[in-house]
Amino acid sequence: MTSALERYRLDGRVALVTGGGGLLGRHFARTLAEAGAAVGVLDIRADAAARVAQEIEAQGGRALALVADITDPQQAHDAVHQLVRTFGRLDILVNSAALDPKVSAEGEVRTASAFEDFPLETWRQALDVNLTGTFLITQAAARVMREQNYGVIINLGSTYGLVGPDQRIYQKPGQPPQYKPVYYTVTKAAMLGFTRYLATYYAGTGIRVNTLVPGGVYNHQDPEFVAKYAQRTVMGRMAQAEEIAAALLFLASDASSYMTGAHLVVDGGWTAW
């Protein structure tokens, strides 16, 4: 019998992390590699993908930087095939790439327009990356997983896909109002539906699909924002990226072998009250 700890090992497995050059994506890729997986670090930003792949190799892991725009069907297909050619299979897909505007050190949010004036172009761009891009890369990966009759897919949701953002924490006295954008909640809520669709679609196969639902991760944001965010959580603080990556490892490994079509909330209690 395999011990509980051994179930977290990923030796011999191959993972693909989209948005692998991002704040959480980097930690996801490094954690999967630490558990023994060979990891494809996919990002539209070549430098970010290369940096993370190098970090993994410097730690003695196996990684491949993949530069692709997931909204392009051919690039999504080619990235998956480059990974499979290099490492022989594809067991784990982490759909982390997304347009996710962050609060800066000065407290600014990009694409912060009021709903009534929200630009159609920005809405379309976000749906293209967060929904269509995720659809395309998952389609390419699922073709390989189907042939193997094995695969684990993890979609990234957000607390803001479960509940609406508390827009009060994004306001700064004396400055124009700014908002977490509408597309964020819409596309992150959609990940729950995408997960349930795929999980039931692959019933009877060896493919499992779940959503990881993180709360806000500390990234040197404006201290005033951090304090307001922290106050909204039960734990009284933002998440560390490593705490989200640990939950990702649970979902990616056989530790979660009886879990599909579900979501795992790691939000410091934000949605508990």
Ligand X SMILES: NC(=O)c1ccc[n+]([C@@H]2O[C@H](COP(=O)([O-])OP(=O)(O)OC[C@H]3O[C@@H](n4cnc5c(N)ncnc54)[C@H](O)[C@@H]3O)[C@@H](O)[C@H]2O)c1
Active site residues: 184
CA 121 to chain centre: 23
Looking at 6-14, 63-71, 109-117, 140-148, which segment touches ligand X (CB under 6 A)?
63-71
CB distance 164 to 181 below 8 Å: no
Distance, in Å, from the CA atom of 266 to the CA atom of 251, rounded to the nearest integer, reads 12
Span 17-46, contacts to ligand X by CB under 6 A: 18-19, 21-25, 43-45
Span 198-237, contacts to ligand X by CB under 6 A: 214, 216-217
Strands 151-156 and 92-95 come out as parallel
- The total number of residues shown for the chain amounts to 273
Q: Does 129 bind ligand X (CB under 6 A)?
A: yes
- Name the residue with tokens 């693909």: 16
Q: Does 246 bind ligand X (CB under 6 A)?
A: no
Closest C-alpha among 6, 2, 4, 27 to residue 218: 27
Q: Does 80 bind ligand X (CB under 6 A)?
A: no
Q: Does 151 bind ligand X (CB under 6 A)?
A: no
Q: Does 15 bind ligand X (CB under 6 A)?
A: no
Q: Which is nearer to ligand X, 38 or 213 (CB)?
A: 213
* H and E: helices and strands count for the chain: 8, 7
Minimum CB distance to ligand X, residue 206 (Å): 25
Closest C-alpha among 228, 217, 209 to residue 25: 217
Span 91-110, contacts to ligand X by CB under 6 A: 96-98, 100
Q: Which is nearer to ligand X, 9 or 196 (CB)?
A: 196
Contact footprint for ligand X (CB under 6 A): 18-19, 21-25, 43-45, 48, 69-71, 96-98, 100, 129, 133, 156, 158, 214, 216-217
